[in-house]
Structure 1
Amino acid sequence: TDEALEALDRCPDCESEIELRYDVAIQQERKRQYDKAVSTYRSIQERKKGFRDTAARLSALEKLAPDNSLMQGGSFDNTRTLLMPEPTVSRPTLGRYEIEREIGRGAMGVVYLGKDPKIARTVAIKTLSYQAFDDGQLQDLKERFFREAEAAGRLSHPAIVTVYDVGEEADLAYIA
């Protein structure tokens, strides 16, 4: 999204440029980059007041964390759930999965109920938050986490959960 905005900054202000900027802001919301989305919506408002639902989205994002503590890169740790915004804001995503709600938590992370919008499959998404651990521990924990996914993915038994996907984002790893 950062590179897209840099490219758009070199374009003349026009309706299609604002549309693209709006699409970038939506993606920033979904990736839990709330601080960046706020900035993008503000730049849209500077270019064209009253564009679509920009004012409502901006207002909803600003209400998420008035002190900005939750808006820094969408960060969270294993003691805090993903921020579930009000309906005006796009649902957060992990990889291609839309997060519905938290369904459990453990020592290393949180489990969410999610949906794969491409095939309408409901999944459980187990996460490992990187912020909960120092850099010395993190590499070992990531290896264990992905080894768990690999081992479970090789098994096929009615009593064992099927692993559909694994992934990594800037602030966490996940298993669907």
Structure 2
Amino acid sequence: MENRLADELEEFLMTRRTLHLSTLDQDGHPYASYAPFAKGDDCLYVLLSDIAVHGVNLKNNPKAAVLIVEDESEAQTIFARIRVNYQVQAQHIPFDAGAEYDEGIDCLQKKQGDRVLNLSQLSDFNLFKLTPLGGRFVKDFGRAYTIAGQSLTGESIEHLRDGHKPRASVSR
């Protein structure tokens, strides 16, 4: 079952084009945003501008969280959209990093198109590699899984068995 879940998660990631990104500002306050992304080998790549708050935040604090979620128009129920979230460690990959930079830009260009090549030539755009530190994959009510390890599909995926519980009966 674990291999099947990893395959489903991999397929889900391949069908998404954007992620929600939660970063921390210099005072430790959370900041929510979104960005186009591409999947690398057990990482995610984003290309962010210094003009954008999330780009500055990641340069100053590499701890972040990512949410990749099923589109509302595709969801069977709005309360149980398919989603995966990760705690990530961000690494700024400088323009002069050679093959490492080229790999990230190539992944982004294949996923997001040629605009990536244009943006990558602007000095205010920075490539970030987001390495997962663990996460959660939710497919529906009662079908939530913990992703353990530093990979997108996890070194293990375990079903969360402590599901929703009814409230004690209360008269209203």
* TM-score, reference length from structure 2: 0.25
TM-score, normalised to structure 1's length?
0.24
Between structures 1 and 2, the one with greater helix share: 1
Higher RCO (CA < 8 A, seq sep 6+): 2
